[in-house]
Amino acid sequence: MRNRLLPALPVLLLTLAPSIGAAQTALQLRWELVGDSIAHDWGASRAAFTLTNRGTKPLPPTGWAIYFNALHSADTGSVGSGFIIEDVIADLHRLAPAAGFAGLAPGASIRIPYVTGLLLNRSFVPQGPYIVLDEAKDVGVPLNDYVALPFERPPQGTGHDPRVVTPEHQFTLDSATRAIPASELPPVFPTPVEVTAGAGALRLAALPPVEAAEALKNEAAFAAEYLRPYFGTTRKAGVPPLRLEVGPVEGQTSPEAYTLVVDSVQGVRIVGASPAGVFYGLQSLRSLLPAPTPRAGLVLPAIRVVDAPRFGYRGFLLDVARNFHPKPAVLRTLDLIARYKLNVFHLHLTDDEGWRIEIPSLPELTAVGARRGHPIDSDRHLPPAFGSGPAVDRPWG
């Protein structure tokens, strides 16, 4: 029922408040960084909202409020006359008219300056603004005509503001780089401990047989998956094999160490100190593979690679509590971190802004804790966070 109601929210607002509904749906909101004040170990930023009425009816002096998310609050007493900016909960704030605001005529604009904590980059910019009318406090409508202007003013004096990414500055940075010849690039990434080029190349006209012990059946399946795009399922007699083995790696003590040898006659051999080492050897083999041309065969340069990790803990954190990602994105992320030989995956499932673990005996954990939206005092969802806005069906809410 709630989902069917969402498309009708603007109409509902017009019905409940005909005198101001048209104005609020045509509001334009702009935000800008004005400058910074920095002294010793203290700093603050001067910012401003500009509210413009693009509608045909005036915006009244009372009866509405704009909600938005931002990491910093507005300093008490710093907001321009006629308005207040107050904290609601967590990073959610509320901009509302106060004494001295006479309303906003069609076509008119009003600037609302305020002081806030030092804004280091765009992640500190207000996000996800939406308007709520007093006559319909349970309904929020996004202000779609909202733009946060780029940081274009240096914080003090002259010079480049490191928070600003302009085309000119990026061009200056890029001009110092050079195109690295392919011959100077490592054939395997991340750069291994040792790489020795061999003589000739291994030419494969059909899918090579994968020889591996039962303990390496998962790695053998990965190997076949990596090579199949080049050959389909075509097999021929006499094709050099791909051998996967567990054994000592000379000169290395890490259980994740491996040796990868591509020989023009003997084929491919990967020896890992453990199944994990074999798996990382397969990732290095993937680095040697060209873009696949179906059924065109495969040519690999003869090479010997010896590698072991410098760090035993190589982690990646994916935060789905604060910003949700669907299952395909999580699986794709796992594939990528494995390819770069990371070995720890921190899937951040719970935090103040979201609960993503489904527990059948406690359904409210996800029925409520995995959804964000307006109204903020609802027992059906959490309040908006990180610009998720008022609608509970937003994918990042």
Pair (50, 119) in one structural domain: yes
pTM of the model: 0.76
CA distance linking residue 297 with residue 281, whole number of Å:
21
Lowest mean pLDDT: which of 55-69, 116-130, 269-283?
116-130
26 part of a folded domain:
yes
**Do residues 51 and 104 share a domain?**
yes
Q: Closest by alpha carbon to 393, among 377, 372, 365?
A: 372
Q: Is residue 88 part of a domain?
A: yes
Is residue 202 domain-shared with residue 73, that is, in the same domain? no
At 162 the pLDDT is 61
Are residues 195 and 165 part of one domain?
Answer: no
| 8 Å CB contact between 273 and 249 | yes
Q: What are the pLDDT digits (tens) for 85-109?
A: 999 999 999 999 999 999 999 999 9
* In a shared domain, residues 25 and 125: yes
What average pLDDT is seen over the chain?
89
CATH assignment of the domain containing 6: 2.60.40.290
Residues 6 and 147 in one domain: yes
**What sign results for the dihedral spanned by CA atoms 75, 76, 82, 86?**
positive
Residue (of 107, 108, 125) closest to 116 by Cα position: 125
Cβ contact 169:160 at 8 Å: yes
The predicted pLDDT at position 378 comes to: 87
Residue 50 within any structural domain of the chain: yes
Domain of 208, in residue numbers: 187-307
40 half-sphere exposure, CB direction, 13 A CA radius: 0
- Read off the pLDDT of each residue in 352-372 and give the average, rounded to a whole number: 93
Residue where one domain finishes, among candidates 137, 172, 207 = 172
Same domain? 196 vs 267: yes
Q: Compute the half-sphere exposure of residue 261: CA atoms within 13 Å on the CB side of its CA.
A: 16
**Which of 70-74, 229-233, 247-251, 310-314 comes out lowest in average pLDDT?**
229-233
- Of 172, 204, 234, the last residue of a domain is 172
**Strand partners for 346:** 317
Total domain count for the chain?
Answer: 2
Domain-located, residue 271:
yes
> Are residues 35 and 168 both part of a single domain?
yes
Residues 167, 201: one domain? no
Residue 59 lies in a domain: yes
In this structure, the answer to whether residues 161 and 13 fall within a common structural domain is: yes
Whether residue 233 sits in one domain with residue 148: no
Query: What are the pLDDT digits (tens) for 26-48?
Result: 899 999 999 888 776 678 999 99
* DSSP run (H or E) holding 270: strand 267-272
Q: Note whether residue 165 is domain-resident.
A: yes
Q: Are residues 229 and 287 in the same domain?
A: yes
In a domain, 391, yes or no: no
Among 262, 287, 307, where does a domain finish?
Answer: 307
C-alpha to C-alpha distance for 372 and 312, rounded to whole angstroms: 38
